[in-house]
Amino acid sequence: MESFYLIGSAALNDYNGKSDIDFISIIKKEINTSEVEKIKEIHKKMGSKYLKSKLKGSYVTPKQVKVLDKNEVPVVYFDGKHVRDNGKSGNTGIVAGFILKNYGITVTGKPPEHYVPHIYVDDLVSYVKLNANT
């Protein structure tokens, strides 16, 4: 792991104790099958130790995080219960990229702007409008 960030309600100062804890972990390379199994085991242990905290997050490479705004990034994602490696993520996309770059809390590693390119507000607004109308 290169870097680890909190995003979502924790980063936006809206965490209420019942909120999910959203994260993005920057990993050095794409994860293979045995590494996915290790991540599953880690989340299983954490889930039994910290029952009240519900983590949700993605494991992305530096290359993948550069295109979070494209909403097409195949990533390993922990949905709060299961580690999914089918490429679908609940916290990638232009909104997550914007939050990461502008509000992300660095737990360890480099600052988010090291990885995340500039996100144009017009692109963000267009995305939100498109999703609001679907």
Mean pLDDT of 11-37: 88
Q: How many angstroms separate the CA atoms of 24 and 22, rounded?
A: 7
DSSP annotation of 133: T
Sign of CA dihedral 38, 39, 41, 46: positive
Secondary structure of 76-95 as H, E, C letters? EEECCCCEECCCCCCCCCHH
- The two three-digit tokens of residue 41, written as one number: 């085991």
In the chain, % of residues over pLDDT 70: 87
Please identify which residue in the block is written with the tokens 């199994």: 37
- Could you read off the pLDDT of 79-131 as tens digits, one per residue? 888 888 876 666 668 888 899 999 999 999 999 999 998 888 898 888 888 87
In the chain, % of residues over pLDDT 90: 28
Give the pLDDT confidence score for residue 2 in this predicted structure: 94
State the angle between helix axes of 121-132 and 94-103 in degrees (0 to 180), rounded to the nearest 10: 140
Give the pLDDT confidence score for residue 72 in this predicted structure: 60
CA angle (60, 64, 65) in 5-degree steps? 75
Give the pLDDT confidence score for residue 100 in this predicted structure: 93
Give the pLDDT confidence score for residue 27 in this predicted structure: 92
**In 3D, which of 38, 8, 42 has the Cα closest to residue 23?**
8
